[in-house]
Structure formats: C-alpha cells, structure tokens
Homo-oligomer: A and B are copies of this chain.
Amino acid sequence: MLQNINNAKPGDLIEVSGMVHNVRVTKWGGFIILRKSCGLLQTVVGDQSKFFNEQGEQITMSDLCREMAVTITGKVNEANIKDPAAFNKTIEVAVDKVEVLSRPTTAEVVDMNALKFGDEETLLRYKFDNRQVTLRNPRDMAILKVQSTIAKAFADFLTENGFTQIFTPKIVSEGAEGGANVFRMDYFGKQVYLAQSPQFYKQIGVGVYERVFEVAPAYRAEKHATSRHLNEYISLDVEMGFIKGQEDVMNLETELLRFIIERVSTVCKHEVELLGATNLPVIPASVPTWKLSEVHEILFNEHLTEDHRGEDDLAPEEERAICKYALDKFGSDFVFVTHFPSEHRAFYAMDDPQDPSLTLSFDLLMRGLEITSGGQRMHSEEAYREKMLRRGMNPDLFKFYLDTFKNGMPPHGGFAIGLERITACFLNIANVKEASMFPRDINRVAP
C-alpha cells in the first residue's frame, strides 16, 4: 500500500494520515477534507466506508470532527477539485477506512480562517493572538512554506558555491554593537546586548573561510509598530573575500536570487498558486544598476518623480518609480542602486577612491522596496581607525574587530537579506509579520 500521497496516481491503494480540516455530511455519504503539510486532500465517504475510534471500536461518520488526527485508507480516484487549497486538483481518495488517532478537547476548535472579521487590523490581531492554531490555515501554511524554501535554497546555493555556514553569537558585549536600537540584558552581572547583525563576525569569518554565510535571528529594538518592521527577524547574511570590487558581490547576489526564485517556483508551485503569487519576481541576466545620482537624474528627466537631484538618499516615491521604470524598460523586478554617500552608510563601507564622499555600497530594490543592503568593506586597519575617529567613535571599544584587520584581511564585501521581508515581497504580502511564524513587535511578545 502506497504511503506517500505526493506520488499517488488514480488506481493506487493508499494509507494517508493527517488532520481533519473539515467534514461535510451529504445524503449519500460525504467528504472528509484532510490537511497535510503539502495542502488539502479531498476524501469521499460512501456507504462502504468504516470508522474506528482510538480504541479500535467502530463509530460513525457523525462522530468525526475537525482537528482529529486520523489515518485514512482508500483508493485514489481521478477528480476535478475546485478548492484552491487542494495541493493536487486531479485526485481524491475514496474512503475505505478512517481510524481516529487523537482528537481535540472539544469540537469547537479555533476558527483558523477567521473569516468572520471584516477589517484587516482586527483579523491580523486575531490571527496573531491565536497563532498556535491559526497557522493551520492553508494560506498561512503556504507563506511559511515559501519562507522555509527560500532559506533552504539560500543555504544550498551558497554551499554549492564554496561558502561555509557559520554560527555567530547573538549575545555580544560592548563594542560589538552599539547605538540606540539594541536590546540590553544582564549576563551574570555584565550588561550585554542582543546582536543587531553578525556584521563583525561574518567579516572575521572571511579571514578564516574566504566565503561565509549565516542564517540566524537578528534584533532591533526599534519602537516601530509598522507593517514593514519586526523586532526579531531572520537575517540571511553573506560575506565573501578576494573580490575585485562590489560588482562581484552584486553578481553573486543576482545568481543567488535567480536560484531562489527558480527553487520557489518549482518546490512551492502549489503554495504560490494558492497565494495568487504566480507572478514571481523576474530577474534578467543582468540587473539594471545605477548610481544614486543617476537614479535622481533618470527619474527627473523622464518626468517620473519630482526633482530629487542632489539629495543624499532615495525618496520612497523614487524607490517605487525606479522599480517601475526598470520593469517597463528592462523587464526586471530588481534594481541595484549604488554609490550612496559615505555619511549615510555604516562606517565599515569602503569609500569610492574616485570620490571619497561616496561609498562602494549598494541597495537592492525589488518591487519598490529595499530588500538588501550590501557593498565592499574596508580591509585595512588604518582605514578603519581613520574613519572611526572621523565619526567620533572610540576605536578602543572595537579592539577585537580592528585586530582582525591588523592581522590581515583580503578585499571583501557582502550583503544581508531579511528573510521575512523577501518572503513577503515574493508573495505580494503587505504586512511582513505574516511572513514570521511568531512575530515580535513593540506590542507583541506572545504567543
């Protein structure tokens, strides 16, 4: 008897376990909709179908309820399923036997679809308040399945390309991080911080393994409660040595994204269809790349935005406009913007030798949103000390970091992608919290 529903063809006898997502009784029998990790499966009850409880005693279909765990045996039949949450629209199972393995406390389980709520905000609050159960909603399952697939594709591509996965500490001491937006905590009497990013550690990793990546939580104590921010998120970090320039980093990211999109489109075919997101982002052979000053020029000359020439950052209307321009003109859902002013970038960004007021750094925009910051980093100790002093930073607080460069470092650069943000962006989901299993924001630290 076949055990894997993913390989099932009409005519197969199958044994399949899952949760009862729904029960519909009809005059002639009815349907049990089974929930599997891959989506829903329709099973059809007829007058030959038999039902057994946990003790093996015979029961009837009316004894079944939602969120029972069951094992169903039966025959796979051809079908034409309408429910978009069905993972395979061409099969159903004619039920021979249903065995109940376990059951909810009451038949009144949480409404995981929360369809009764009209407005978006109440719906979201309900969803997150009951996340331990509402996650069982096929739509939420699909979002996090895509998230999981992106993370795995990220690791697979980089491993294949000679990167070593590293695990760096999230509890860090003074000097490793700083600024206003860090969470502080007591560590056996010492004040320590939760890491905002593995930046210093991944650069150290380049001195060891040439190319490194990390998939790990990062923390920002920002007092936002917006649809674009999380206080705890998963950061996909990359850092690579022996680069000739930031172009090497941008090219790697381009190939990485191409690989991820391809993986999602095959592994998560059902999920992107269910979420109405089959228009996965398009990434051309070469992603349109402009300097910040060029973006201002283009958008002004093309009458696409107001005049932002001379400004030292992208206005939100420019982010949207340059993405639309790149899509219309170059068929790309992605745009690299480079050469941001030094004073607006982190101190470790390498200044452009052609114009030291600018940096060899980039943002990657996708569909109007910034999904990555990256660039080439400085690699000489003197350059770090000089820039720190210029910015009023105390180099003594960064001794272990500076020591890395003192002991020699290859030219290097890297970038970071927020996993929840790229997931939401791929799927056209407005609120990044929906791409987090248990989101954390200023108002929410449970469940």
Contacts and interface: CB of A to CB of B under 8 A. Distances in A.
Interface string A433-447: 000111010100111
A167 to B, nearest CB: 5
B167 A234 contact: yes
B211 A408 contact: no
Contacts of A211: 37
A101 B410 contact: yes
Nearest to A201: B438
Contacts of A322: none
A152 B167 contact: no
- Tallying the copies of this chain within the complex gives 2
Contact of A36 (B18, B188, B210, B404): B210
A208 B104 contact: no
Given A165-B152, A209-B37, A403-B132, A183 B187 contact: yes
A94 interface: no
Nearest to A110: B407
Contact of A148 (B69, B164, B445): B164
A408 B102 contact: yes
Given A171-B445, A187-B445, A223-B188, A437 B136 contact: no
A398 to B, nearest CB: 10
A437 B168 contact: yes
Contacts of A66: 408
Contact of A437 (B37, B159, B166): B166
Given A187-B183, A242-B17, A133 B173 contact: no
A9 to B, nearest CB: 19
Interface stretch (A294-302, A337-345, A377-385): A377-385
Contacts of A380: 102, 105
Interface size class of A (residues with CB under 8 A): 35 or more
Nearest to A215: B215
Contact of A110 (B145, B187, B217, B403): B403
A192 interface: yes
Contacts of A176: 446-447
B445 A172 contact: yes
Contacts of A440: 169, 171
Contact of A446 (B104, B151, B173, B419): B173
A134 to B, nearest CB: 10
A241 interface: yes
Contacts of A194: 185
Contacts of A141: 208-209
Contacts of A136: 207-208, 407
Interface in A93-114: 101-106, 109-110
A294 to B, nearest CB: 29
A422 interface: no
A232 interface: yes
A363 B342 CA distance: 55
Contacts of A436: 167
Contacts of A36: 210
5 contacts: A36-B210, A131-B400, A141-B208, A148-B164, A173-B445
Given A132-B403, A167-B234, A188-B223, 15 more contacts: A17-B242, A37-B209, A69-B242, A101-B242, A101-B410, A101-B411, A104-B381, A135-B208, A147-B167, A151-B167, A168-B438, A169-B437, A169-B438, A169-B440, A217-B217
Question: Which 10 pairs from chain A and chain B are nearest by CB?
Answer: A67-B408, A400-B447, A69-B410, A104-B408, A185-B185, A37-B209, A173-B446, A17-B242, A105-B406, A148-B165
